[in-house]
Amino acid sequence: MDNLKLGTYRHYKGMGVEVIGIALHSETLEKMVVYNHPNPVKEKDANTLWVRPLKMFLETVKVDGKEVSRFKFIRKK
């Protein structure tokens, strides 16, 4: 779906995540990225599954005046 590679991505804040697939929101059919945080984050245990809208996952953010990818692909699974 939308050519999103499965594998390891680095969030612009430095943490790594494992993208495991794309899901559809049950009501809106919006595409959502399903990913695992292998380390604890936001007071949640390691290996917690998270979802984020695909559009948001692929967008850029401004950091120190520069546009950078929110998540950068690192390697295939």
Indicate the average pLDDT of the chain.
91
Burial class of residue 69, CB neighbours in 10 A (0-12, 13-18, 19+): middle
More confident residue, 40 or 62: 62
Residue 58 placed within a domain: yes
- The domain tally of the chain equals 1
Which residue is associated with the tokens 């059919």?
29
Reading the block at residue 27, the tokens are 């009501």
Is residue 69 in a domain? yes
Residue 32 resides in a domain: yes
**pLDDT for residue 45:** 78
Domain with 30 in it: what CATH number? 2.30.30.320
Between 41 and 14, name the one with better pLDDT. 14
Q: Is residue 43 predicted with pLDDT exceeding 80?
A: no
For residue 2, what pLDDT is reported?
63
Helix and strand element counts for the chain (H, E): 1, 7
Q: Which domain holds residue 49?
A: 7-76
For residue 67, being part of any structural domain is answered with: yes
The pTM for the full model equals: 0.84
In a domain, residue 2? The reply is no
